[in-house]
Amino acid sequence: MDYPTRIVGVLQDEHEQRLLVPTDFGHSLRDPYAVHLNFNPGSDHKEWIVSIELFTEAFDRPDRIHGYGDVTITYYPTDNQLWIGLQPPEGVATIAFPATAVAEFINSTRNSATDNVRETALDIFFEKVEKCANQSR
């Protein structure tokens, strides 16, 4: 992971207690379409990998739940909150993050090196699809 960014979120548990959750947001050129979320970095950390597209959808279309299954993201611009919902086997957790900090991180993943890696990956993918299509004719 290239230079993670620490953003502290707030988890509200079933007893209405608020718990601070330090989270490292990471991005790597080896996985240019993903954000690595490392919750509670250190001894008892949990890592989740979420697509950048899910974050982008949430920012582009606020006040709606984006994603399904294990991860959902909702952006509430009036509160400047980005809610990430996680559903591990042990239960459900929803963590609120300052949306501005997350948006800055997501924007930082958009650099020329990342764009070149993404374009190259797409070019290779489409070449393989075209090759398969030509072979099946």
Q: What is the pLDDT of residues 1-22, one digit of tens each?
A: 566 899 999 997 677 788 899 9
CA 68 to chain centre: 13
Helix (H, G, I), strand (E, B) or coil at 135: helix
Residue 108: which residues within 8 A CB-CB, separation 6 or more? Answer: 5, 27
Write down the CATH number for the domain with range 2-111. 2.30.31.20
pLDDT at 76: 96
Q: Would the pLDDT of 57 be above 60? A: yes
In which residue are the tokens 């707030």 written? 10
More confident residue, 120 or 104: 104
**Exposed/middle/buried for 132, CB within 10 Å: 0-12, 13-18, 19+?**
exposed
Quick one: average pLDDT of 27-37?
Answer: 88
Is residue 106 within 8 Å of residue 114, measured between CB atoms? no
Average pLDDT over residues 42-47: 78
